[in-house]
Amino acid sequence: MGSLFSQVLVKCSPREFTSWAKLNGVAIVASSPAGLMDYKALRYQFPAVLAIGSEKRGLSDQLLEAADFVVRIPMRGGCDSINAAVATGILLFEMASQRRVPPFASIPG
């Protein structure tokens, strides 16, 4: 509770954001129902940022075009979308899972 207040937040334009990401070697992963790749199929590159749009409008065309990867969360049945906060949690969990070091990885030294 309250962890938001321990985070560094920056407000900027999409152009400033994409310029910062490119200059710093940060991969932009965008989420969209129109994404061609299942979110679990992507081997995420780090450092990375996740771009999530609003539930009503999604991401801007500018951010979708600037993204290095556009992923989707597959839906079943008649459901065509999920809450943006839930989608964010699913995607961040997958990204964090892929970033973990295997328990028996060899450690130099």
Domains of the chain listed by start with CATH number: 12-99 (3.40.1280.10)
**Which residues fall within 8 angstroms of residue 87, CB to CB, at 6 or more apart?**
31, 52, 73
**pLDDT tens for the chain, residues 1 to 109:** 677 788 888 899 999 999 999 999 999 999 998 898 999 999 998 999 999 998 888 899 999 999 999 999 998 877 767 889 999 999 999 999 998 755 555 555 5
Q: What is the pLDDT of residue 108?
A: 58
Question: What is the residue-wise DSSP string for 44-74?
Answer: --SSEEEE--BTTTBS-HHHHHH-SEEEE--
Q: For position 7, what pLDDT does the model report?
A: 81
Question: What secondary structure letter does DSSP report for 5?
Answer: G
Q: What is the pLDDT of residue 77?
A: 77
Given a contact cutoff of 8 angstroms between Cβ atoms, the answer to whether 28 and 53 are in contact is: no
Q: Report the run of H or E that residue 98 belongs to, with start and end.
A: helix 84-99
